[in-house]
Structure 1
Amino acid sequence: MASHAGRLLLLLALAAALAGRSAEGAWCVCRPDLPDATLQRTLDYACGSAADCKPIQRNAACFAPDTVKAHCSYAVNSYYQRSGQNPLACVFSSTAVISSTDPSTNGCKYPATPSAPDSPPPPMAQGPNGAQKDTSGGADVLPVAGTARRVVILACCSLLALYLMA
């Protein structure tokens, strides 16, 4: 019985490590395949919420390149980091994705670790237009990369734990 308990503890620790939040070195970036008008709405939403958009203002460190795509990525990444790298903080009605590639450019360093906002972040499942989205699995909130994998890992570990306890 002690052997089963040890295995179960090890299995649960492994599952927790694999299913946890993003590790250091995760960024949220806007999808480059979307039109500027769509990304501008996402940029406006992020800057109007918990994102720190001071670095993308004129004459600031991250103003260049002066494109909607670059400013959008900086803003959604700031929002994502200030939300503790919560995967739901990078949904933005499917206009942004989590990336393991550092989007930083000459003189502009994108934050890569969770940081505390000056004020509490808004609910995670809002879209760039500010309307509350259905979080019950509807089409407006799409899965974030890696979430499905984590669910499968947890399910497999749970089944294995049940098997070991039998």
Structure 2
Amino acid sequence: MAVPVLKLVLFLLSLLVNSFLVVQGTSWCVVRSDASNQALQTALDYACGTGADCSPLQSSGLCFLPNTIQAHAAYAFNSYYQRRAMAPGSCDFAGTATVAKTDPSYGSCVYPSSQSTAGGIATPTTPTTVINNPNVPTTTPINGGGSAGVNNPGLTPPIPTTNDSKASLDCMVATSSMSVMILLVLSFILHPIWIF
């Protein structure tokens, strides 16, 4: 009798771990397919100028190819998003980006999937080099290269005023699911004790 109960407990524990990992799944920030090249260039300049790690996008970097505005913006957006611990609003870039559950990495270009793999907390910097993309006309950032976010309407992530974000909902679902699964496992473990 103890072996079937132990197998059931182990099965339920594996379900618990798997359901928690799926709910807490990793996400990446990628380019929306309907974003214009000019909007992407502006958002790319913003992301690289406010803390995204854009060094892999340099001509000698692992993510330089394909040398397109879409590919470069996707990497920069994701770096920015991960360095901000996937905070609500950090993957918008004036409507040019969206969150994806599929890893966009390709070849030797590996997209960070967490704050630690993205190089930690981002600190705004002024880019020392500009990425020239021959496929897109060069534009000057909206803020003129000055302080980030001050004169850059629509690109600065909004500050949430409520806790109604999807990230908050995911956390509540994960917590609730885990609590239910723990109670279920404990009920099977303690079931023989309850029988008199």
TMscore range, shorter length: 0.5 to 0.7
Name 1:11's counterpart in structure 2: none
Query: Structure 1 residue 25: deviation in Å?
Result: 2.2
Rounded to whole Å, the distance in 2 between the matches of 1:120 and 1:59 is 23
Query: Structure 1 residue 35: deviation in Å?
Result: 1.4
Question: Relative to structure 1, is the Cα distance of residues 120 and 84 closer, same or farther in structure 2, using a 3 angstrom cutoff?
Answer: farther
Question: Relative to structure 1, is the Cα distance of residues 111 and 135 closer, same or farther in structure 2, using a 3 angstrom cutoff?
Answer: closer
Structure 2 unaligned residues grouped into runs of 5+ = 1-18, 126-147, 177-196
Tell me if 1:130 matches 2:152. yes
> Secondary structure at 2:30's aligned position in 1?
strand
Rounded to whole Å, the distance in 2 between the matches of 1:133 and 1:83 is 11
Q: Which structure 2 residues correspond to residues 1-166 of structure 1 after superposition, within 5 A?
A: 23-115=24-116, 116-117=120-121, 119=123, 130-131=152-153, 147=166, 150=169
* Percent identity (aligned): 40
Contact 1:24 1:113 in 2 (8 A): no
Counterpart of 1:36, as a letter, is N
TM-score normalised according to structure 2 size: 0.53
Contact 1:83 1:89 in 2 (8 A): yes
Rounded to whole Å, the distance in 2 between the matches of 1:56 and 1:43 is 11
Contact 2:29 2:91 in 1 (8 A): yes
Counterpart of 1:35, as a letter, is S
Question: Relative to structure 1, is the Cα distance of residues 89 and 149 closer, same or farther in structure 2, using a 3 angstrom cutoff?
Answer: closer
Structure 1 unaligned residues grouped into runs of 5+ = 1-16, 138-142, 158-166
Query: Structure 1 residue 117: deviation in Å?
Result: 2.7
Rounded to whole Å, the distance in 2 between the matches of 1:133 and 1:77 is 14
**Stretches of 4+ aligned residues off by more than 4 angstroms:** 132-137
Counterpart of 2:152, as a letter, is G
Aligned length: 123
Query: Structure 1 residue 136: deviation in Å?
Result: 7.7
Rounded to whole Å, the distance in 2 between the matches of 1:81 and 1:136 is 18
Deviation string for 1:97-152 (max 9, x for gaps)? 1100111111100001123135279xxxx87x723577588xxxxx97xx29929x
Contact 1:25 1:112 in 2 (8 A): yes
Question: Relative to structure 1, is the Cα distance of residues 98 and 43 closer, same or farther in structure 2, using a 3 angstrom cutoff?
Answer: same
Counterpart of 1:64, as a letter, is L
Question: Relative to structure 1, is the Cα distance of residues 95 and 118 closer, same or farther in structure 2, using a 3 angstrom cutoff?
Answer: closer
Counterpart of 2:100, as a letter, is S
Deviation string for 1:42-81 (max 9, x for gaps)? 1010000010000011121000110000000000100001
Query: Structure 1 residue 24: deviation in Å?
Result: 4.8
Contact 1:46 1:79 in 2 (8 A): yes
Higher alpha-carbon Rg: 2
